[in-house]
Structure 1
Amino acid sequence: MQADTLVEQEDKVGAEASAAPVRQAPGAGAAAEVADKAAEAPAATPAPAPAPVAAPVAEEPKPAKRVKSTAKKTRTVELTLTVTGTADGEWQADLVHGTKRVVSGLSISAAAVSRAAKELHDDIAGGIDEVIETARAQHRTRMEELEAELAKVKQALAELSD
């Protein structure tokens, strides 16, 4: 409605401007007088009377509707995996989902821990491989001690058999 009112007001202003006499500089000659008389003459077809203009009604802005997001909400899952190793090379895993314990004290091999660490990240693998290598060195030392003790027991048994 307001757009129609503005168009009508512009048409009215345009009609008044074309009906106003054209002023020329002094000494413009006969052509200026003819133009003045033509401008003063009434138009052959009368312009339609403008429609009555209603006072614009102030509309209150409507609150914007809340649009739901189309973005996919990411659901997070909280899993806590704890891998514990001993100096002897024994490894255990515990798995907790939220607050529920899923696995507790599951024995796993050092090789499985090493492979999993390599899959995760090189820095993790480096730290775990150091622990595994320390355990291997300790086991080798213990094995050498046991082999030396076994050799002594075999020798003692051989002396008894003679």
Structure 2
Amino acid sequence: MVSDTLTEVQAVEKTDAEAPTAPAAEAPKPAEAAKPAEAAPAEKPVPAEKPAPAEPATKAEKPKAAARPKSTAKKTRTVELTLTVTGTAEGEWQADLVHGTQRVVSGLVIPAIAVAKAAKELHEDIAEGIESVLEAARDQHRTRMEELEAELARVKAQLAELSE
């Protein structure tokens, strides 16, 4: 379409360039000089032809979207599910599931290992975030275990003194 318009403009420019120029105004003839100052018809400059508007697209050039038949398939229905997993520093995890506005599951206790596995399956960034929380919980449990082992050792020592 653009190349057609460009070709038409070039053709118009050629025609204007090749057109014979009007002869220079000649000196008035004696008979014409005697006439009163009658305005000679002034030659109007011929305006350059404007390129013709682009021709309407033929049937073959029309967008194919208009030619597509309507689809009989149903639109895909989306389902809104919201899963909220909450954890404590002690490593206790719970899950809540909401379907639309209806609560399906509330406060379901789930093991930390299940949360870690699910996070790895979902996305690496999610797994890293959850793993940092799990690691903090592990550290806390190790500390508590060491405290309990130290207390157990003291109780065993006290028991041994009483047995002697």
* TM-score, normalised with respect to structure 1: 0.57
Q: CA RMSD in A?
A: 1.3
Tell me what 2:153 maps to. Answer: 151
Measure the CA separation in 1 of the matches of 2:163 and 2:108: 47
Name which one, 1 or 2, has greater alpha-carbon Rg: 1
Instruction: Please give the secondary structure, in 2, of the residue aligned with 1:82.
Output: strand
Q: 1:83 aligned to 72, 82, 85, which one?
A: 85
Cα deviation digits, residues 80-128 of structure 1 (max 9, x gap)? 0000000000000000111111111101011000000000000000000
Cα offset, 1:69, TM superposition = 4.0
Taking the TM superposition and a 5 Å limit, the aligned residue runs for 1:58-137 are 69-137=71-139
3-state SS in 2 of match to 1:76: coil
Report the secondary structure of 1:96's partner residue. Answer: strand
Secondary structure at the aligned position of 1:148 is classed as helix
Figure out how many residues of one structure are paired with residues of the other and give that number. Answer: 96
CA–CA separation in structure 2 for the residues paired with 1:140 and 1:119:
27
> 1:90, 1:73 → 2: CA distance?
41
Measured after TM superposition, the shift of residue 161 of structure 1 is 1.1
AA partner of residue 105 (structure 1): G
Query: Structure 1: which amino acid aligns with 2:153?
Result: A
TM-score of the aligned structures, taking structure 2 as reference length = 0.56
Q: What are structure 1's unaligned runs of at least 5 residues?
A: 1-66
Deviations 1:44-102 (A, max 9, x none): xxxxxxxxxxxxxxxxxxxxxxx854354110101000000000000000001111111
Q: Which runs of 4+ in 1 moved over 3 A?
A: 67-72
Separation (CA, whole Å) in 2 of partners of 1:136 and 1:70: 56
Instruction: Tell me how far apart the structure 1 counterparts of residues 153 and 95 of structure 2 sit (CA, whole Å).
Output: 38
Q: Distance in 2 between matches of 1:98 and 1:153?
A: 55
For 1:17, the equivalent position in structure 2 comes to: none
Letter in 2 for 1:94: D
RCO higher in structure (CA 8 A, sep ≥6): 2
CA distance in 1, matches of 2:72, 2:141: 59
Identity %: 80
